[in-house]
Structures are given as C-alpha cells and as structure tokens.
A and B are shown apart, each in its own frame.
Chain A
Amino acid sequence: MERQTYDLVIIGGGPAGLTSGIYAQRAGLKTLLLEKEIPGGQVNEAPSIENYPGFIEISGMELANKMKEHAASLDLPIENEAVQEIIDNGSLKLIRTTGEDISSKAIIIATGAKPRRLRIKGEEEFLGRGVSYCATCDGPLFRGKVVAAVGGGDRAIKEALYLSNIVRKVYIIHRRAEFRAEKVNVERLSKRENVEYVLDSVVEEIKGEGLVNSLVVKNVKEGTISELPVNGAFVFVGIIPRNDFVDAEKDSHGFLVTGADLETSIKGIFAVGDCRSKNLRQVATAVGEGAQAVASVEEYLHN
C-alpha cells in the first residue's frame, strides 16, 4: 500500500535527525520523520552533557526532550515505524517500513548507532541480569554494589563517573593503559576514591548464577588471568551504525560515506550524525550536519 509523496523523509530522530526536521519544516518541505524507538536517540542515555554550547550542564534526557519539543512546536510529523529497505527509483525513493510503504523525493539517514557488544561468553545470558549498556538506566539498581565499566572512550569514562556516584566501587577495565576520552573527565575519574583501574586488560567471560557475580579478566601484557567479583558489568566498547537497510557506500566499519554536502553514494540520499563515516561523534557535530543536510536536500530538489 502506498500513500502521499514526501519531499523529504528523515530516518532517525536523534539530535541530527531532529535538527534536519526543524530546518526542513522551516524551509516548507513536506517532511516526515521516522523514529522506531525513542526521540533523541542515544543522547537520552548520557548522564550529563557539558560540551553542547548554551548548556553548561544538562542531562541527555532533558536535552533530548528540549529538541523533541522544538520539533513538535513546528508540527514536525513523527511516526514510529522502522525502515526495512530503501528502493532507489531515481527521482523517487520507496521506503519499506514495518507499516506502510512511503515514497519520498529525498531521504536523510540519521539512524545513529547502537552499542557494540563484547561478544564473549555470558554476555547474552546475563543481559539485563547484571550486564547493561546504559548506566543512567540501570546504574541506580546497583546502589551499594560493586560494578565494572568496560571501555576507555568518552562514553566509558562518563558512565564510570556516573556509576561512582551511586555504587560502592567501580572497576574500570580498559584494554590499553591510556584513555582516549576527554581529559577533563579522565582527570575527574582519577580523583574518585572508589574507582580502581584494571588496565591493559580485557574481559574474557561473564559469570554468575541468575545474576552476574564475577568477570574473568585477562591482562594482555602479562598474559595473566584473574577473576573479579562484581555485581554488574557496564559495557561501553564503541558503537555499530544502524544502516543495514541502505545499500550506499560504507567504510570498513560500516559507516556511510558522504561528500561535504552529506550526500551518500546514492543521489538524493544523505547521511548525518553517528551513522556517517567521520572522526568526531558529538551532539554538536550531529546538529551541524542535520542543518547542512537540509540545505543540500533543498539544492537537490531544486535541480
């Protein structure tokens, strides 16, 4: 079944997609935004954001709500379908969703990314039973307990900081000795008394009975193996883009390759935010791309 044709369909409602939605509505484009899960996307899970200008400190959920309200004030239509496939018929693209098929002249892909898994024994079994990818969601359940944060990037360090406010003790397990996260947060973490560093180490197995009770950890430098008693394991070891449904050019990690105008290898299909191949994934960069892509869409539609 098919319905009206849109000028622009935006797939994904995080900061990049919502910004595109705001610009597109103001440009008078006939626009639809598809968000299968939660408007604001991954930002919702950030305990606090301190590098988005205009907000000295704001929780991710609050910032997501503000963006959502901004889009709603412009009557941006949002539907909760997931996209299964895009069929490129040149000037008109067909989007197959979990609901109706939708056709649009242009598409902006803003689907973001999901947490990468460790893919080790016990991870699936104890998911939601001590294994979590969201400290702001599940952290409060571990009040007074011992947990591990796994990873060494921005997200791992921020979430470890958040966890250290709640739990009795946080082990931070990182495969290298250096952290690539923002220095300001690395320094903050080093001052926390209930944080213990387990460096040059990887988690090999998650063990428990019903709920998690230990991690098998290997020191990669020395080759030694130890067992760390913990009640929870919070995993932040990078992201995987959500863009399986589109057949445009991707880099070796699966992120969509675009030009400076943010157009993918398929004419009329643009990509913004975390699903795009780039160096820095921040709210600030996502928002800029969201705006730029609409300008490119307008030019594309005009020609």
Chain B
Amino acid sequence: MKTEIYTTTTCPYCAMTKELLDKENISYIEHDVSVDEEARHKMVQKSGQLGVPVTMINSELIIGFDRKSLKEAVEKAKKAA
C-alpha cells in the first residue's frame, strides 16, 4: 500500500486525516506544501486541487477530511495488500 498526504502545518483537517491514518496503522509520506513548492505543483497536477488535505491511497484520491471515503479507501487497500 502506498499512501501520500499533502498538508499544511496549520490545517486542522490535515491533522485529523493523519490521526485517522495513524489509528488505522497506515504509514504514509507527508508533503508539507506550504514549504515544498515542488510537491505543491505535483498536488495540483495530480488532483487539480489547490486546497489541503489531499490524500492518495494507492491510486485513490481523497480530497479534504472525508472520514467515510478515507475509511473506505483504507479498507480497500488493506484487502488488496
């Protein structure tokens, strides 16, 4: 399973998304797009989004802190693994 999350340090919904992934024991790569300009470009390219958090679990893209979609994507990825 490959999980990436695009965040800013001041975004509460990013913190909640990470908390959810932590609870599910999912390890992830975090990109702080407030400082990492390259990651910011990549996020916009991949998601069309200029808003955080953006979470990618395998090929699935979850925009915002959407508890239901995050959980579903985690379950799906766990099954596939």
- A138 adjacent to B51 (CB under 8 Å): yes
Given the complex of chains A and B, what is the CA–CA distance between A232 and B9 in angstroms? 19
- A141 adjacent to B12 (CB under 8 Å): no
Residues of chain A in range 212-232 having any CB-CB distance to chain B below 8 Å: 232
Shortest A99–chain B CB gap in Å is 12
Given the complex of chains A and B, what is the CA–CA distance between A226 and B53 in angstroms? 33
In the bound complex, residues from chain A placing their C-beta under 8 Å from that of B16 are 37-38
- A138 adjacent to B65 (CB under 8 Å): no
Judged by a CB distance under 8 angstroms, whether B29 is at the interface is no
Smallest CB-CB separation from B53: which chain A residue? A137
Judged by a CB distance under 8 angstroms, whether A129 is at the interface is yes
Judged by a CB distance under 8 angstroms, whether B3 is at the interface is no
Judged by a CB distance under 8 angstroms, whether A40 is at the interface is yes
Q: Which range contains the number of B residues in contact with the other chain?
A: 20 to 34
Judged by a CB distance under 8 angstroms, whether B11 is at the interface is yes
Given the complex of chains A and B, what is the CA–CA distance between A127 and B48 in angstroms? 11
Given the complex of chains A and B, what is the CA–CA distance between A247 and B77 in angstroms? 41
Q: Given A138-B11, A141-B33, A141-B40, A38 and B51 touching (CB < 8 A)?
A: no
Q: Given A38-B16, A140-B10, A210 and B65 touching (CB < 8 A)?
A: no
Shortest A132–chain B CB gap in Å is 6
In the bound complex, residues from chain B placing their C-beta under 8 Å from that of A61 are 10, 12, 15
- Count contacts between A and B, CB distance < 8 Å: 70
- A137 adjacent to B33 (CB under 8 Å): no
Given the complex of chains A and B, what is the CA–CA distance between A37 and B16 in angstroms? 9
- B44 adjacent to A211 (CB under 8 Å): yes
- B50 adjacent to A136 (CB under 8 Å): no
- A137 adjacent to B52 (CB under 8 Å): yes
- B49 adjacent to A129 (CB under 8 Å): yes
Shortest A17–chain B CB gap in Å is 16
- B50 adjacent to A232 (CB under 8 Å): yes
Shortest A49–chain B CB gap in Å is 13
Given the complex of chains A and B, what is the CA–CA distance between A134 and B64 in angstroms? 12
Partner of B64, one of A59, A128, A130, A143: A128
Judged by a CB distance under 8 angstroms, whether B14 is at the interface is yes
Smallest CB-CB separation from B43: which chain A residue? A141
- B34 adjacent to A44 (CB under 8 Å): no
In the bound complex, residues from chain B placing their C-beta under 8 Å from that of A64 are 12
Partner of A141, one of B13, B15, B50, B67: B50
Given the complex of chains A and B, what is the CA–CA distance between A134 and B12 in angstroms? 10
Smallest CB-CB separation from A36: which chain B residue? B67
Given the complex of chains A and B, what is the CA–CA distance between A137 and B48 in angstroms? 17
In the bound complex, residues from chain A placing their C-beta under 8 Å from that of B33 are 140-141
Q: Given A128-B49, A128-B51, A140-B33, A45 and B12 touching (CB < 8 A)?
A: yes
Q: Which residues of A contact B (CB under 8 A)?
A: 36-38, 40, 44-45, 47, 59-61, 64, 80, 127-130, 132, 134, 136-143, 210-211, 232
Instruction: List 7 tightest A-B contacts by C-beta distance, closest first.
Output: A140-B34, A44-B12, A128-B51, A137-B11, A140-B8, A136-B10, A61-B12
Q: Which residues of B contact A (CB under 8 A)?
A: 8-16, 33-34, 40, 44, 48-52, 63-65, 67
Q: List 16 A-B contacts (CB under 8 A).
A: A44-B12, A44-B13, A61-B12, A61-B15, A64-B12, A80-B67, A128-B64, A134-B11, A134-B13, A137-B12, A137-B14, A138-B8, A138-B52, A141-B33, A210-B48, A211-B50
